[in-house]
Amino acid sequence: MGSPLKRRNNNPWMDQDRQNQRRVIATGVLFALIVLGGVGLLVYALVQG
């Protein structure tokens, strides 16, 4: 009877870990887009210059 209670208590932590992973992935994607955008602007400026 002890193990099911532990599993129930661990579920919220698992949900928090999943949410944290989603936040990390989202921030990583946004950072990558910003970096790619900056590089694109630099290349465009060099081509125009």
Residue extents of the structural domains in the chain: 1-49
Single pTM value for the model: 0.56
In this prediction, residue 19 carries a pLDDT of 87
In this prediction, residue 15 carries a pLDDT of 77
In this prediction, residue 11 carries a pLDDT of 62
DSSP H helices in the chain: 2-48
Instruction: Tell me the per-residue pLDDT of 1-49, one tens digit each, with 9 for 90 and over.
Output: 555 555 555 566 677 888 899 999 999 999 999 999 999 999 999 999 8
What's the N-to-C CA distance of the chain in angstroms? 73
In this prediction, residue 48 carries a pLDDT of 94
In this prediction, residue 17 carries a pLDDT of 86
- What phi and psi, each to the nearest 5 degrees, are found at residue 43? -65, -45
Give the integer Cα–Cα distance in Å for 48 and 40. Answer: 12
Token duo for residue 43: 């290349």
